[in-house]
Amino acid sequence: MSALRDQLEYLEGSSPFYAERLRGLREHVRTAADLPRLPFTTKEELREGQRREPPLGPHLCAPSERLVRIHVTSGTTGEPVAVGFTQRDHEANSALGGEAFRIAGLRSDDIIAHCLNYALYAGGIADHMALEASGATVVPVGTGQSRRLLELIPRLRITAIFGTLSFPAYLAGRAREAGIEPRELGLRHIVTAGEPGAGLAAVRQEIEEGWGATVADTFGMSDMWSTMGGACGEGEGLHLTGGGHAVLEVVDPDTGDSVELEDGATGELVWTHLRREASPLLRYRSGDLAHVWTSPCACGRAEPRIRIDGRRDDMLRVQAVNVYPQAIGAVLAADSRLGRHCVVADGDPIVPPLSVYVEAPARIDMGGLEGRLRAGLGARFVVTRLEPGSLPVAEHKTRIVHRTARGDVLPQAVETVRRETAT
Ligand SMILES: [Zn+2]
């Protein structure tokens, strides 16, 4: 893979940070299979470098006069990291993203409302331009415009929405408050981003039914490419579009050992940029835990597919057992009668059992659910039923895990149930 060799040569020649890591090793890397000979890059190293050498740190590889834009990562897991784009980086980002949005079902006759936050992070303006590159017509809506959006959908003949999975559920609620049935607004398609678990069957089904529209998920990272994968709707997972611009590795999240990239592989995703000029990453540990499929998809595409199952940082350590909140979601998703859920962990360190609050119709056997969670995840759980529709739907990311010992505020319905059971 000469693009990889070219990229490594470029890194070594352009940045003291990478020159130091690659010295004496670069010539041993001929193909992606040789990448494990090189050290990882972590977000903490990028932060630390940017503190020392603001704004972009010693891994910046392009001269600052060639930069056209700086994004910062969303900072949901700590201090944000700045990411520079040259014109070529920007064009590649739009092309990869445009392809991902087409895979996720956008058409050139779609008029799509972009409903993510436009400020700072790449999900805003970078994804906007990727949506344009898909061929669709984009309406820059941003956040906090729900009422106006409900008027604009029919007036502008908007056919699609791009937002988090929480957003269409939230918007449906606002529509009904205004006396409008969501499906009468005539959306045909909803493209989601930025929320692992967007595959959750029950939530997705509720949105599809409420809006009379299809839902397809996309994947991206501000510090890699803003959107670099899309769900085709025919096979499992999201097709990656970064082929010529990124190398994917999978590693064991605990040991960092390589996991063979084959159908059904699971682990932490590690990314290396190809053809990236300004802020390239080398063996970057994403913290994303995922499933990978390498077999050809029913849709005919051959690119690998991924499904993000959770974040390494969201892991709950319950005595000796590591529990990933998304794994809880996956067990619940197997029962389509269940709605939204949240997880409450008490104590620091966490004292079992973990409390799961799940929306469900009356007469569902919660004991069976507790057994399935314990069998699947190896920790003790107490499951409490909530009335359907009682958990809040945030306009953007809806929080799943609450740590009481860290002062997290619980949803009202959960607070009420806990008070009732405590007395
Ligand atoms: Zn496919």
Q: Per-residue pLDDT tens for 122-171?
A: 999 999 999 999 999 999 999 999 999 999 999 999 999 999 888 998 99
pTM metric for this prediction: 0.88
Distance 223 CA to ligand 1 centre (A): 25
DSSP element (H, E) containing 243: none
Neighbour count for residue 3 (Cβ, 10 Å): 13
Q: Per-residue pLDDT tens for 167-193?
A: 998 999 999 999 999 999 999 999 999
Distance CA 278, CA 85 (A): 6
Q: Per-residue pLDDT tens for 194-232?
A: 666 544 666 788 899 999 999 999 999 999 999 999 999
pLDDT at 201: 67
Distance 227 CA to ligand 1 centre (A): 17
Q: Per-residue pLDDT tens for 357-387?
A: 999 988 888 889 999 999 999 999 999 999 9
Distance 327 CA to ligand 1 centre (A): 24
Confidence at 400, pLDDT banded by 50, 70, 90: confident
Select 315-422's CATH number: 3.30.420.40, 3.30.300.30, 3.30.200.20, 3.30.565.10.
3.30.300.30
| Per-state percent for the chain, helix, strand, coil, to nearest 5 | 35, 25, 40
Distance 401 CA to ligand 1 centre (A): 32
Distance 305 CA to ligand 1 centre (A): 8
CA distances from 39 to 20, 26, 61, 98, 280 (A): 11, 11, 18, 32, 15
Distance 301 CA to ligand 1 centre (A): 6
Q: Which two tokens stand for residue 364?
A: 């569902």
* DSSP type of residue 410: P
Kindly report the backbone phi and psi dihedral angles of residue 60, in degrees, each rounded to the nearest multiple of 5, phi listed first. Answer: -65, 130
Neighbour count for residue 409 (Cβ, 10 Å): 9
Looking at every residue in the chain, the average pLDDT score rounds to: 92
Distance CA 420, CA 423 (A): 6
Distance 302 CA to ligand 1 centre (A): 8
Distance 193 CA to ligand 1 centre (A): 18
Distance 313 CA to ligand 1 centre (A): 29
Q: Per-residue pLDDT tens for 56-102?
A: 999 999 999 999 999 998 766 678 999 999 999 999 999 999 999 99
Distance CA 422, CA 404 (A): 15
Distance 239 CA to ligand 1 centre (A): 6
Distance 25 CA to ligand 1 centre (A): 37
Among residues of the chain, what percentage have pLDDT more than 70? 96
pLDDT at 198: 42
383: left (phi over 0), alpha (psi -120 to 50) or beta: beta
